[in-house]
Amino acid sequence: MTPGRGLLVGIALGGPRGPGDAVRALTQVERAEGLGLHSVWLPEGHFTQGAMPSPLVALAAFAARTRRLVLGTTSLLLPVRRAEQVADEVATLDRLSGGRVWLGLGRGFRAPLFAAFGVSRAEKRDRFDAVLDAVLERWASAAHAPGPLQEPHPPLLVAAFGRKGLLQAARRGLPYLASPLETLATLEDNYAYHREHLPETADPDTLPVAVMRTVHVARDDAEAERALEALRIETGRMAGALPPALARAAGGDAEERAIVGTANRVVDLLASYRERIGLDLLIVRSGVPGVSRDESESALERLTGDVMPRLAT
C-alpha cells in the first residue's frame, strides 16, 4: 500500500436475475456515486442465473449515468475472447467515460464455458497470456488509434485463485485481485507469495492491494448474526457446485471470509486487513441473501457514513 493512501471502496454488482434488474442496477450505480464510492465492478459470466455475459456493455450504460465513478471489471475472461475485440471495446469505453476504466482480468474455471467457446480448458493460461500480449500490442501501436484515453492503458489487475494464478499476475508485475472466498490468513500468504515473485523492476508499494469481500454494516448484533447465518447457508448451497480448490476455500466460517458486524466491529476488521495485507481497495458485495433490500441499503449508508471516514488515512 502506498504510504498515506486512504482506503478506496467500490461496489460489486452481479448480472440481472429477473425483469427490472438491469434498470435497478442503473439506480444502484447512481446511488453509489452519490454516496462517494470509488468504483463499480462487474464480473463476466455465462450460462448461469445472474451471470453478466457482456460487462463492458453494461459499464457503458453506467458511464452515461455517472461522472466520477470508476468503472471496473472483476474478471474479464481473456481466454474466450478475441484480442482485437477486447482492445477496441475497452478503448472505446475508456474514451466514452473520460478515462474511468479499470480492467480486472480472469481466466474462468467452469467446463461449460470453455466447451461453449471451443477453447481447451488446459490451454486457458497460455491463451490468457497470448490475448493480453496482443491487447497491449494493439494499444501501443499508433496504427490502431484511437487507443484508450488513459496512457499507456487503463489500470490492470489479475483475478487469481491459487499459486498458478498468483504467479501469472506477479511475473507480469500486475496487481492481484483477491477472491471473496479465501480467509484473511490465506490472503496474507497469497500477497506475500505474490510480492516474492514480482520482477525486480516492479515496486510492490505502488501496486493496489485489492480484495473482494461481502460487507454488511449492521444496525445491531442481532442483524449481524442474521446476515452471517444467511452467508453460512449460501456457502453450503454453493459448495457442491464449486471445483474442489474453491470449495475448500469456502469451507471456513463466514466470519473468516466476510466483513460483517456493527460499525465499530467493521472498522476493527478493516483495520486488521489494512495492517496485515495493506488493503487499499475494497470491492464490496453488499447484498446478503436473507437480508432485505432496505437493510442492505442502510448497511451501505453506514459503511460510507460511519466506517469509511474513520479509515480515511
Q: Which range among 19-28, 36-45, 161-170, 275-284 shows the weakest confidence by mean pLDDT? A: 19-28
Q: Which of 13-17, 196-200, 227-231, 254-258 has the lowest mean pLDDT?
A: 13-17
Of 154, 183, 217, which residue constitutes the final position of a domain? Answer: 154
Lowest mean pLDDT among 73-87, 99-113, 162-176: 99-113
Examine residue 74 and state whether it is found in any structural domain, yes or no.
yes
pLDDT at 108 over 60: yes
Residue 65 to residue 299: CA distance in whole angstroms: 23
Three-state SS letters, 275-293: HHHCCCEEEEECCCCCCCH
* Residue 254 in domain: yes
> Do 20 and 112 fall into the same domain?
yes
Q: Is residue 232 part of a domain?
A: yes
State whether 215 and 144 are in the same domain. no
Query: Which residues pair with residue 23 across a beta bridge?
Result: none
Pair 6, 134 in one domain: yes
Q: Give the separation between CA 134 and CA 153, rounded to whole angstroms.
A: 13
| Residue 135: inside a domain | yes
Same domain, 42 and 121: yes
Is 235 found in the same domain as 144? Answer: no
Q: Kindly state whether residues 130 and 238 are assigned to the same domain.
A: no
Domain boundary among 154, 180, 213: 154
Task: Identify the domain boundary among 90, 120, 154.
Answer: 154
Q: Is the pLDDT of residue 60 over 80?
A: yes
- Which among 44, 114, 53, 51 is positioned nearest to 75, based on CA atoms? 44
CB atoms under 10 Å from CB of 169, counted, come to 22
* 90 & 239 share domain: no
Does a structural domain hold residue 168? no
276 shares a domain with 141: no
Shared-domain flag, residues 19 and 135:
yes
**Is 100 part of any domain?**
yes
Torsion sign (Cα): 289, 294, 300, 305? negative
Query: Could you tell me how far CA 288 lies from the centroid of its own chain?
Result: 17
Identify whether 43 is part of a domain: yes
Could you give the number of structural domains in the chain? 2
Here the CATH number for the domain that contains residue 21 is 3.20.20.30
Q: Mark whether 210 and 138 lie in a shared domain.
A: no
| Residue 11 lies in domain | 1-154
Kindly state the average pLDDT of the residues 31-59.
90
Who wins on pLDDT, 196 or 313? 196
The dihedral sign for the CA sequence 295, 296, 302, 307: positive
pLDDT score recorded for residue 2 = 45
Residue 65 confidence (pLDDT) above 70:
yes
Does 288 map to a domain? yes
One domain for residues 18 and 140: yes
pLDDT at 32 over 80: yes
CA dist., res. 2 & res. 261, Å (int): 28
Is there a single domain that holds both residue 145 and residue 68?
yes
> What's the pLDDT band for 3 if we cut at 50, 70, 90?
very low
